[in-house]
Structures are given as structure tokens and as C-alpha cells.
Amino acid sequence: MWLTMISSIRNKLLDFKNSLLGRRTSILDTLDDQDLSRFSEQDLILETDTDIQKYLPDVLGQALARTWVDKRFLDAFFNYPIEILERGGVYLPEKIQLEFSKEEKSRPKVTVFERTKEGRKKVLELKLIMVAEK
């Protein structure tokens, strides 16, 4: 019961935040009807560089894997990676930016940047590669 109430409050807060930022689009609206599995059993609030290095590669690996098999998730994650992570219970500092790219004949990848006074600095980059073995 408590988890349902907390989830409902969290969703309402996210809806309010998104309405303020004007980020809600039809792609994200259609995801409301999907089962967006969580990336972790508990919310992950990644506040430090250590948290980001420790937890974000696993989370983004899960997201990249899902883009291979779920076209709607691919479209949404391509356009709104931060919002998709938040809907999955992963919260990043404001200074962190994600870029998802998927070129025609290449594997999808996610690059994580940190905004700095000098511009932005690459923190990490992830790409899933399939390996077949005998």
C-alpha cells in the first residue's frame, strides 16, 4: 500500500515537473501505458562522481539492451534519456547530460557528459556489443 502511494506521488511530481519544463510529448505520453521496468528495486539518486561511475554503467547497459528489442523504448530513450531514467527510478545531478546515438548500421551507444565552466567533459561512453561463441 505504501509503495503504491509513494509511486503515485512520485509520478505526480514527475508529471508536474515535466509540465513546468514543457517536456511532455506524445512519445513520453505513450510510455505511460507501457510497463517501464525499474532499473533497480529502489530509486537510485546518483549525486557524486563515485555514484555515477559505480551505478550508471549498469543502468545504461540495461537501457541499451532494451533499445535492441523495444522500438517504442528506443524512440523514447533516443529523444528523452534523462526522463526515461527518472521514470525508471534513476535520478542524475543537473550537471550530467546524456546523449544517445543510433546510426543506421551501428550499435546504439550512450555518452555521459558533465557540464563544466569550460564546456562539457566526457565522463563515460557505453556501447553494447553482441559476441557469438561456439
In a domain, 99, yes or no: yes
In a domain, 6, yes or no: no
In a domain, 64, yes or no: yes
Q: How confident is the model at residue 101 (pLDDT cuts 50, 70, 90)?
A: confident
Average pLDDT in the 33-60 region?
Answer: 81
Task: Check residues 20 and 87 and name the one with the higher pLDDT.
Answer: 87
- Say how many domains are in the chain: 1
In a domain, 121, yes or no: yes
Residue numbers of the domain that contains 38? 26-127
In a domain, 117, yes or no: yes
In a domain, 33, yes or no: yes
Q: How confident is the model at residue 26 (pLDDT cuts 50, 70, 90)?
A: low
In a domain, 3, yes or no: no
How much is the pLDDT for 74? 86
Q: How confident is the model at residue 11 (pLDDT cuts 50, 70, 90)?
A: low
In a domain, 20, yes or no: no
Alpha-carbon distances, residue 22 vs 15, 75, 93 (angstroms):
10, 18, 19
How much is the pLDDT for 76? 86
Backbone angles phi, psi at 7, to 5 degrees: -60, -40
Largest CA distance in the chain: 53
Tens-digit pLDDT profile for residues 57-68: 999 998 998 888
